[in-house]
């Protein structure tokens, strides 16, 4: 078991009343799974991914990640955990504009205090793998959307995470670029990386081996297959 | 990691070139200004601090209970110092001290030398390093000490031991042997001299040897290490009871009240290290380092303004960094790491600014020294301690100004940052507060400038009761007897075009080019009361030459034969004598000679303007010496006439330097401190204004950018250019208004404190502060308008599209 959510509730107070963003979510994720979270805009997909990625808090429920109970961990310990095991891919890429492709990919390694020579080798491997060696000295603004997302994925992978969380990774891309990214995810999944992605698109969702439907923060059971 | 930080720092700084430039510009101006001001202030504070024994060195002064209250005085009688050393414990060394001058008579080297009369202990007490010879040199009456510079000047070499000096001191010729050579006193020494001579050579030494009622010199003592100044004051009570018995009885008789300790006359010790900062103002002794600290304060305020600019710009710009922060957090950056990253970016800016600032201050150093008339150099800042302090304050400034934005940014929540949400309301409050502080500082400095300028003008233009524009004062520094020089000068100038009259006296008005000041006061009994007066020895035509107004009676005149026993007094003296009709009244001085008052002059400011006009009596005794000639010239062709006076002097005393100057120059010279202060505060407020404008400009630029969309929408729905400009401007003007409300009372209080020091001063008026406030508003408006008007004029379609 990679992670387990038990009866997670997340709400915000509006006018004294609770508005539920996540409503009684339970979810088991095994290592090696490829899960797609589907639902209309505002249904809570990003919120759920952020909770799984430990970027966001929740009010009730339990969250176990590799047998550690996340909800009781201190912030410092938690960040160590996700630094180690989780990589993020965003719809808006979120590359650092002032860093080159090479430096963007390298950044997570810097925060993990990895030696310079080892960093060089790891980044070189990654550039090679994604066929972007020639672009390594360019800045994000000089790349197309698809290329930027490639860099984003490369960056998410560089620290060899067990889990990749992708929030609408193809949302800003045309369909051909989107397909390439999806193929890449499939490949990664076959290599053993667990992937959870949020998406609008049926065809993208179909890449996963399990689909979770969300509506107003609740899991819709009838649609699972 | 560090390399990564540096890289991203420089890329970011480069990307926001305009902000980086504004920041670096502002900070380097601030660093340069505060370095120079710090140099000036620290130099001033280092006065007299180089003496190794400074903790144990003191100047002795009296606190006397006069009928009008306490008065303090530093002048001591000749037998005082030897008696004190004998009768009181804990005095390690003691030295009397008179500063005088002497003329070197050796042919071809007729030089005027600064000479001090001191006791042999002097060189044990003070750290004037002896290079050749011994510290005990003055134990031999015929030996003297000279400085290296003097030796070089007189003998062309510094190894001048055993050479002889032929000196004319107060009209007496004496020959001395050089017994020791001293290092030149440091520029920070308040005691300055070329030659030191045993005190027994001082004027009237033998006559005064046993006289306790004639006071003419200062006394410095060095205490044993474990003794304190108050010990001496206590143990000196019996000493004063014994030696000042007569004085004390007179005080009692005149109705003086004893002080809290029940004493009428006490001895006190002023720490030598405080002397440069001490002001003996008649009634009390005030030690105040306010002046250097004020200058240091202005430097700090300027740094503060530049620091605020930096903080405000960093926070305002941080909106653009939010995504980066969020991203870094998801990639595993800890708060500490983010803080360090943003902070190190600040450090670069500060480092560049500091280097530039040091460069600028070095480039401006010599003009600064000229402008502020100070011997201070940046090398005075180079002691290890000071460098430590400077580095320390640099780190503190960088830490606060760079650390605050870094802290704000590193503490942001990951998701908030990723979404680009910044709690702007809170940040704006900080920004607005800082801007209010900034403008308050500017307004305080502007009002300070206006008030100081007004006071200075007031003092310059004040009618002092004598003619200062048409009178030239010439110090009589020649080789001949001074009275002879005066007579010769009268002859030379008689009938020359432009010369109206010639006279002389024993004291100058204002501060002459000879740089010497002195006063002569005397006390005597009148109708059973002790009274005091300043004394002035004059020649014929003195009141006429100086344009003093006669109130009653007559002035000295050649047609009266007995005028050497006549005196002319001023109104203050008439009041001191409590005589409504003083003419023809007689006074008897200590030497039991009767003087008759023949005339009363209207009060005139013979002393500085921070003093009330004191009693003064003019004597015309031909056996007392004169030190200054005064020449009244016609208002036409004054420059030519001045030259003819100089020529005449050169013919009379070919070897003496001509140090004549108009009295208004002399008066101006006494305002040196006020002038310097005015220049400093004016430049300070100028810099403060420039820096505040840089900050305001940058903020207005950012605000306009942030509100581009809003402006566009408002224009689409029909707002006019004027309405938009007003909308964008009013917030800033409000801030300046608040700053005015805070700054005006502070400035009022500070400036009224400062004016308290002046007996003759301007009234503080509201309009000065209003003017400062309005000036600030006006400058702020102009600064903001560059951006706001442009934004308001912009085609709304354009601004909406860019969103
Ligand atoms: N911090 C918050 N406070 C209030 N409402 C929020 C907050 N975060 C998200 N929401 C709301 O929660 C709902 C779910 O948002 P999100 O998870 O982003 O949906 P999705 O990614 O499926 O489009 C939305 O209606 C959104 O407005
Ligand atoms: Mg979403």
- In a domain, residue A64? The reply is no
Phi, psi of B256 (to 5 degrees): -75, 150
Q: What is the pLDDT of residue B400?
A: 82
Summarised one tens digit per residue, pLDDT across range B151-165 is: 998 888 889 899 998
pLDDT at B176 exceeding the cut of 90: yes
Burial of B261 (0-12, 13-18, 19+ CB in 10 A): exposed
* Torsion angle in degrees (nearest 10) through CA of B350, B351, B353, B354: 110
Interface of B with A in 8-37 (CB under 8 A): 8, 11-12, 15
Can you point out the beta strands (E) in B248-368?
265-271, 278-280, 285-287
| Contact A12 CB / ligand 1 (< 6 Å) | yes
- pLDDT tens-digit readout, B298-317: 998 898 889 888 888 887 77
Residue with more model confidence, B177 or B411: B177
The better pLDDT of the pair A214, A220 is held by A214
Among residues of chain A, what percentage have pLDDT more than 70?
Answer: 98
pLDDT tens digits along B318-359 = 777 787 888 888 888 888 888 888 888 888 888 999 999 999
CA distance B345 to chain A (A): 13
Q: Is 0.90 exceeded by the ipTM?
A: no
For chains A and B, CB pairs below 8 A equal 55
Q: Which member of B4, B324, B326 has the closest CB to residue A110?
A: B4
When the pLDDT of each residue in chain A is averaged and rounded to a whole number, the result is 89
* pLDDT tier at A200, thresholds 50, 70, 90: confident
Identify the CA nearest to B135 among candidates B621, A185, B143: B143
B330 close to A (CB below 8 A)? yes
Name the CA dihedral angle for B676, B680, B686, B691, rounded to a multiple of 10 degrees: 170
Average pLDDT over residues A152-180: 90
* Secondary structure of B634-677 as H, E, C letters: CCCCHHHHHHHHHHHHHHHCCCCCCCCEEHHHHHHHCCHHHHHH
Q: Which of A203-217, B404-418, B740-754 has the lowest mean pLDDT?
A: B404-418
Judge contact between B458 and B762, C-beta under 8 A: yes
The mean pLDDT of A51-61, rounded to a whole number, is 90
Q: Whole-number mean pLDDT of chain B?
A: 87
Read off the pLDDT of each residue in B80-100 and give the average, rounded to a whole number.
Answer: 93
Whole-number Å distance, alpha carbon B220 to ligand 2 midpoint, is 85
> What is the pTM assigned to this prediction?
0.79
List chain A residues with CB under 8 Å of B8: 96, 98-99
- In the DSSP assignment, the letter for residue B203 is T
> For position B389, what pLDDT does the model report?
78
Give the position, in ligand 1's atom list, of the atom nearest the Cα of A168. 21
Structure tokens at B245: 């018995």
Assigned domain for A107 exists: yes
State the average pLDDT over residues B438-461.
Answer: 91
Q: Is B287 on the interface with A (CB under 8 A)?
A: no
pLDDT for position B802: 45
What length is written for chain A? 225
Q: Cβ–Cβ of A56/B333 closer than 8 Å?
A: no
Q: Which ligand is nearest to the CA of A41?
A: 1
- Tell me what the mean pLDDT of segment B352-372 comes to: 90
Distance CA A36, CA A209 (A): 8
**Per-position DSSP letters for B109-157, written without gaps between them:** ---EEEEEEE-TTHHHHS---EEEE-TTGGGSTTEEEEEHHHHHHHHSS
Quote the minimal CA–CA distance from B311 to chain A in Å: 22
Beta-carbon separation of A155 and B331 below 8 A? yes
Contact B334 A55 (CB under 8 A): no
For range B268-277, the mean pLDDT: 93
pLDDT at residue A224 tops 60: no
Q: What DSSP assignment string belongs to A78-143?
A: HHHHHHHHEEEEETT----TTS-HHHHHHHHHHHTT--HHHHHHHHHHHHHHTT-GGGTTS-GGGS
Q: Find the distance separating the first CA and the last CA of chain B, reported in whole Å.
A: 35
Q: Is the pLDDT of residue B615 over 70?
A: yes
Q: What is the average per-residue pLDDT within B39-63?
A: 91
Query: SS3 for B478?
Result: coil
Residue range B380-386: average pLDDT? 76
pLDDT in tens, B283-300: 778 888 888 898 888 998
Q: How confident is the model at residue A222 (pLDDT cuts 50, 70, 90)?
A: low
Lowest mean pLDDT among A23-37, B281-295, B488-502, B547-561: B281-295
- Residue B324's closest chain A neighbor by CA? A96
Give residue B591's pLDDT band: very low, low, confident or very high (50, 70, 90). low
- CA-angle at B52, arms to B50 and B58, nearest 5°: 90
pLDDT greater than 90 at residue A207: yes
Q: Where are the domains of chain B?
A: 2-44+290-459+672-800, 54-287, 478-658
State how many domains chain A has: 1
* pLDDT of B462 above 80: yes
Residues of A with CB under 8 A from a CB of B: 50, 53, 55-56, 76, 79, 82-83, 88, 90, 94-99, 103, 106-108, 110-113, 155, 159
Range of the domain at A50: 34-57+75-220
Reported as a pLDDT band with limits 50, 70 and 90, residue B8 is confident
Mean pLDDT of B400-416: 79
Query: How high is the pLDDT of residue B107?
Result: 66
Q: Least CB-CB distance to B331: which of A50, A97, A108?
A: A108
Query: From the CB of residue B628, how many other CB atoms can be counted at a distance below 10 Å?
Result: 24
pLDDT surpassing 90 at residue B392: no
pLDDT, one tens digit per residue, over B718-738 is 777 888 888 888 888 899 899
Share of chain B above pLDDT 90, in %: 37
Q: Is the pLDDT of residue B665 over 70?
A: yes
Interface test with A, best of B332, B420, B421 (most A CBs within 10 A): B332
Length of chain B: 803
Predicted pLDDT at B800 = 60
Residue A223 confidence class, pLDDT cut points 50, 70, 90: very low
Tally: H helices and E strands in chain B: 26, 25
Question: CB of B528 within 8 Å of any CB in chain A?
Answer: no
Token pair, residue B256, equals 């003086």
Task: Determine, for residues B8 and A76 on separate chains, whether the beta-carbon distance falls below 8 Å.
Answer: no
Strand partners, B196: B116, B145
The minimum-distance atom of ligand 1 relative to the CA of A44 is 17
Q: Which of A17, A41, A46 best tests ligand 1's pocket when mutated (most atoms within 8 Å of CB)?
A: A46
Q: Which CATH number is A113's domain given?
A: 3.40.50.300
Q: Which residues pair with A147 in a beta bridge?
A: none
**Predicted confidence band of residue B623 (pLDDT cuts 50, 70, 90):** confident
State the DSSP code for B70: E
pLDDT band at B424 (very low <50, low <70, confident <90, very high): low
**Longest Cα separation, chain B:** 106
Cβ contact, residue pair B327, A53, below 8 Å = no
Confidence category of residue B385, pLDDT binned at 50, 70, 90: confident
Band the pLDDT of B798: cuts 50, 70, 90: low
Min mean pLDDT across A59-68, A131-140, B419-428 is at B419-428
Q: Does residue B109 register a pLDDT over 90?
A: no
Give bridge partners of residue B176 from the DSSP assignment: B165
């Amino acid at each position: 078991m990679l992670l387990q959510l038990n009866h997670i509730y997340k709400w915000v107070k509006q006018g004294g009343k609770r508005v539920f963003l996540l409503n009684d979510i339970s979810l088991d994720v095994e290592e090696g799974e490829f899960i797609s979270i589907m639902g209309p805009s505002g249904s809570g997909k990003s919120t759920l991914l952020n909770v799984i990625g430990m970027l966001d808090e929740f009010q009730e429920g339990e969250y176990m990640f590799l047998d550690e109970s996340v909800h009781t961990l201190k912030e410092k310990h938690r960040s160590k955990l996700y630094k180690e095991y989780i990589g993020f891919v965003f719809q808006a890429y979120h590359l650092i504009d002032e860093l080159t492709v090479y430096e963007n990919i390298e950044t997570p390694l810097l925060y993990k205090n990895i030696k310079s020579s080892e960093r060089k080798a790891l980044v070189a491997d990654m550039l090679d793998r994604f066929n972007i060696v020639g672009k390594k000295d360019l800045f994000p603004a000089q790349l197309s959307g698809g290329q930027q997302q490639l860099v984003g994925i490369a960056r998410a992978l560089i620290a060899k995470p067990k889990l990749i969380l992708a929030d609408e990774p193809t949302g800003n891309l045309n369909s051909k670029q989107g397909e390439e990214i999806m193929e890449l995810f499939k490949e990664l999944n076959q290599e053993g990386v667990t992937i959870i992605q949020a998406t609008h698109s049926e065809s993208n969702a179909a890449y996963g081996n399990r689909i979770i439907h969300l509506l107003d923060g609740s899991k819709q059971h009838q649609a699972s297959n | 990691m560090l390399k990564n930080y540096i890289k991203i720092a420089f890329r970011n700084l480069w990307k926001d070139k305009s902000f980086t430039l504004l920041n670096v510009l502002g900070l380097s101006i601030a660093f340069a200004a505060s370095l120079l001001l710090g140099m000036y202030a620290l130099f001033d504070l280092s006065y007299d601090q180089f003496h190794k024994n400074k903790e144990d060195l003191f100047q002795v002064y009296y606190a006397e209970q006069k009928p009008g209250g306490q008065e303090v005085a530093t002048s001591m009688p000749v037998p005082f110092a030897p008696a004190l050393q004998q009768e009181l414990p804990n005095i390690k060394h003691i030295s009397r001290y008179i500063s005088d001058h002497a003329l070197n008579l050796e042919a071809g080297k007729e030089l005027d030398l600064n000479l001090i009369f001191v006791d042999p202990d002097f060189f044990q007490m003070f750290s004037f390093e002896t290079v050749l010879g011994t510290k005990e040199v003055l134990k031999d009456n015929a030996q003297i000490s000279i400085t290296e510079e003097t030796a070089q000047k007189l003998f062309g070499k510094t190894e001048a031991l055993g050479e002889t000096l032929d000196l004319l001191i107060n009209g007496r010729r004496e020959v001395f042997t050089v017994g020791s050579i001293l290092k030149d006193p440091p520029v920070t020494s308040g005691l300055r001299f070329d030659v030191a001579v045993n005190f027994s050579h001082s004027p009237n030494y033998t006559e005064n040897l046993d006289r306790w009622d004639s006071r003419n010199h200062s006394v410095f003592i060095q205490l044993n290490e474990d003794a304190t100044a108050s010990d001496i004051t206590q143990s000196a009570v019996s000493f004063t009871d014994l030696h000042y018995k007569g004085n004390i009885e007179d005080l009692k008789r005149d109705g003086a009240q004893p002080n809290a300790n029940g004493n009428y006359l006490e001895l006190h010790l002023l720490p030598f290290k405080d002397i440069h900062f001490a002001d003996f103002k008649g009634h009390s002794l005030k030690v105040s380092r306010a002046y250097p600290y004020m200058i240091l304060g202005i430097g700090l305020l300027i740094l503060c303004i530049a620091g605020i600019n930096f903080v405000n710009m960093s926070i305002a710009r941080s909106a653009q960094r939010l995504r980066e922060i969020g991203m870094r957090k998801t990639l595993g950056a800890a708060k500490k790491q983010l803080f360090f990253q943003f902070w190190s970016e600040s450090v670069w800016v500060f480092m560049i600014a500091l280097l530039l600032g040091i460069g600028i201050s070095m480039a401006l150093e010599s003009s600064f020294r000229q402008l502020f008339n100070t011997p201070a150099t940046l090398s005075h800042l180079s002691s290890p301690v000071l460098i430590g302090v400077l580095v320390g304050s640099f780190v503190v400034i960088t830490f606060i100004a760079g650390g605050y934005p870094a802290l704000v940014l590193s503490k942001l929540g990951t998701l908030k940052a990723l979404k680009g949400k910044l709690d702007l309301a809170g940040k704006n409050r900080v920004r607005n507060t800082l801007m209010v502080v900034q403008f308050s500082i500017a307004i305080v400095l502007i009002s300070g400038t206006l008030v100081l300028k007004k006071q200075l003008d007031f003092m310059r233009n004040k009618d002092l009761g004598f003619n200062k524009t048409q009178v030239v004062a010439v110090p009589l520094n020649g080789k001949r007897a001074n009275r002879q020089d005066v007579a010769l000068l009268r002859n030379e100038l008689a009938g020359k075009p432009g010369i109206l009259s010639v006279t002389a006296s024993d004291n100058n008005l204002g501060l002459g080019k000879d740089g010497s000041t002195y006063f002569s006061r005397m006390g005597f009994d009148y109708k059973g009361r002790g009274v005091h007066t300043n004394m002035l020895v004059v020649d014929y035509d003195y009141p006429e030459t100086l344009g003093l107004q006669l109130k009653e009676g007559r002035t000295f005149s050649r047609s009266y034969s007995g005028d050497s026993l006549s005196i002319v007094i001023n109104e203050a003296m008439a009041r001191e004598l409590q005589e409504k009709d003083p003419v023809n009244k007689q006074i008897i001085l200590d030497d039991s000679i009767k003087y008759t008052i023949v005339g009363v002059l209207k009060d005139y400011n013979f002393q500085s303007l921070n003093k009330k006009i004191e009693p003064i009596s003019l004597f015309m005794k031909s056996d007392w010496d004169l030190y200054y000639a005064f020449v009244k010239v016609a208002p036409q062709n004054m420059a030519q006439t001045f030259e003819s006076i100089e020529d005449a002097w050169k013919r009379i005393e070919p070897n003496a330097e001509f140090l004549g100057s108009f009295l208004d120059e002399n008066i101006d010279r006494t305002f040196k401190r006020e002038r310097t202060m005015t220049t400093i505060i004016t430049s300070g407020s100028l810099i403060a204004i420039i820096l505040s404008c840089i900050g305001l400009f940058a903020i207005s630029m950012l605000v306009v950018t942030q509100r581009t969309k809003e402006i566009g929408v408002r224009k689409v729905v029909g707002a006019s250019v004027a309405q938009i400009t007003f909308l964008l401007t009013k917030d800033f003007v409000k801030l300046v208004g608040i700053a005015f409300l805070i700054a005006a009372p502070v400035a009022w209080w500070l400036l009224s404190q400062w004016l308290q020091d002046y007996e003759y001063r301007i009234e503080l008026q509201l309009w000065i502060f209003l003017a400062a406030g309005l000036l600030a508003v006006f400058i702020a408006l102009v600064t903001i308008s560059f951006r706001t008007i442009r934004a308001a004029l912009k085609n709304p379609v354009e601004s909406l599209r860019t969103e």
